[in-house]
Amino acid sequence: MKIFQKYFSPTLSISSLFFVLLSGLFVSFMGVCCRSVLASDDGEASVLLVKSDDDVVIYKKDIIIHSEEIKAAPKKPEEPKTAPKKEEAKKPKQNELDMMEVGAPVPTRKGDPKEFKVIEKPVAVRPVEKNQEPSSLEMADKYLKEGKKYEARNMLSDIFINKKLPQKQHEIKELLDTLNKELIFSASPSPDATMYTVQPGDIISKIAKQFNTNYELIIKINGKSTSRLNIGEKLKVLTGKTKIVVSKNDFTLTLLLNGQYVKQYRICTGKDDKTPVGAFEVKNKMQEPTWYSPAGGVFPYGHKENILGTRWIGFKDKPNLCGFGIHGTTIPASIGTASSNGCVRMVNSDVEELYDFVTMDTEIVIKG
């Protein structure tokens, strides 16, 4: 005890204790200062890194992280790097699509959705060529409206004969027949005819021969009941060449004058395809013909076995083709069928009308 008192006086002990405490405070103060945040000139927090053997302290702005905390903090898993996605254009919603009509307002993509803009819907218009010509049917209609019946008839005739509008064949045929009632089958002047003035000494058969036509046709189209003529009288005389076109497939016979439609008739053709095809010339013409049967019988007109009807138009013979022609029938129900022995049958009234147009130079063409 005395030894202790010798070395440690009360005064010395108090002074030593004070010194120790003061040293500890100084060390603590320095540690705090080292952990202070240093401000930069612009007022923002600077980053200070203090490294020792066992401790790393990072100062970033006002955040203090110790090395122990860094080691203990769980690492956030890295997200896989992907290429930045291109911004896809937004597709319009259905209600917007519904509004895309001519003159319909559509919400804009930017700004207030209540704002609208007008989308003009293009209208497909067929371009019209400067020198584009109207169709044949349009031209025919134009001629009819202008009263040019002859020009309209010729235009429609071309459409009908060449079947340019198959779906309108029946309609065009009816219109042609109506036009030809005036142009062909009446005494009205027509470019297809000559208006002949009767001279002293004229008779109808003489006039017919002069214009290569038939006596009966002049009588018919001029509406005469007798053959008597008056000097100075005007007669309509059809001029030009006639042609007959037979279609076996359609069961039709078409009469043409100067290449233009006159009339079309229904016919009967040969059974077992016996009606020959090709071009034929007229051999003879007979009214109330006698029938010479292939079996050897001879049957005059009016006989119950005579099947030729009221008219006969015979074809000139060809090798292996003899005895063919166009005639009437005693079996009108056969029209529109293939039931003859090879000749072309017609209803009697039709063949009588055709007969008046046919001359010895009429061309006959039969098609399959």
In order, the DSSP letters of 148-197 are: -HHHHHHHHHHHHHTTSSGGGHHHHHHHHHHHHHHHTSSSS--TTEEEEE
* Distance of alpha carbon 252 from alpha carbon 266, whole angstroms: 5
Q: Which of 66, 170, 322, 327 is catalytic?
A: 327
Residue 158 is predicted with a pLDDT of 96
Angle, nearest 10°, between helix axes 136-145 and 149-161? 160
pLDDT digits (tens, 9 = 90+) for 243-285: 999 999 999 999 999 999 999 999 999 999 999 999 999 999 9
Residue 112 has pLDDT above 60, yes or no: no
Q: Assess whether 343 carries a catalytic annotation.
A: yes
Residue 306, both tokens: 């005579």
> Alpha carbon of 329 to those of 231, 322, 339, 358: distances in Å?
41, 20, 12, 18
Q: Which of 33, 170, 268, 343 is catalytic?
A: 343
Q: What is the DSSP letter of 45?
A: B
For the chain, helix, strand, coil in percent to 5 are 30, 25, 45
Question: What is the CATH code of the structural domain delimited by 185-240?
Answer: 3.10.350.10
Task: Read off the pLDDT band of 17 (50, 70, 90).
Answer: low
Q: Looking at the predicted structure, is the pLDDT value of residue 291 above 90?
A: yes
**The pLDDT of residue 51:** 45
Residue 356's pLDDT band, with cuts at 50, 70 and 90, is very high
pLDDT tens-digit map of 134-175: 788 899 999 999 999 999 999 999 999 999 999 999 999 999
Amino acid 24: pLDDT: 57
CB 265 within 8 A of CB 335: no
The torsion defined by the Cα of 257, 261, 266 and 268, in degrees rounded to 10, comes to: 50
Task: Kindly state the percentage of the chain with pLDDT values over 70.
Answer: 64
pLDDT score recorded for residue 294? 85
Q: Residue 60 pLDDT more than 70?
A: no
Beta strands in 115-160 (DSSP E): 116-118
Please choose, from the candidates 78, 82, 109, the residue with its C-alpha nearest in 3D space to the C-alpha of residue 93.
109
Select, from the ranges 6-15, 70-79, 348-357, the one with the highest average predicted confidence (pLDDT): 348-357
Q: What is the mean pLDDT of residues 65-83?
A: 51
Distance CA 181, CA 195 (A): 17
Judged by average pLDDT, the poorest of 3-7, 66-70, 139-143 is 3-7
pLDDT digits (tens, 9 = 90+) for 188-222: 999 999 999 999 999 999 999 999 999 999 999 99
Q: What are the residue ranges spanned by the domains of the chain?
A: 2-67, 135-183, 185-240, 242-367
User: What's the confidence (pLDDT) of residue 19?
Assistant: 55
CB 327 within 8 A of CB 312: yes
pLDDT at 70 over 50: no
Residue 239 contacts by C-beta under 8 Å, 6 or more apart in sequence? 192, 193, 194, 211, 212, 213
One of 2.115.10.20, 3.90.550.10, 2.40.440.10, 3.30.930.10 is the CATH number of 242-367, namely 2.40.440.10
Between the alpha carbon of residue 115 and those of residues 109, 112, 186, 314, the distances in Å are 9, 6, 75, 88
Q: Identify whether the C-beta of residue 298 lies closer than 8 Å to the C-beta of residue 290.
A: yes
**pLDDT surpassing 90 at residue 13:** no
Greatest mean pLDDT among 53-62, 79-88, 138-147: 138-147
Return the bridge partners of 15, or none. Answer: none
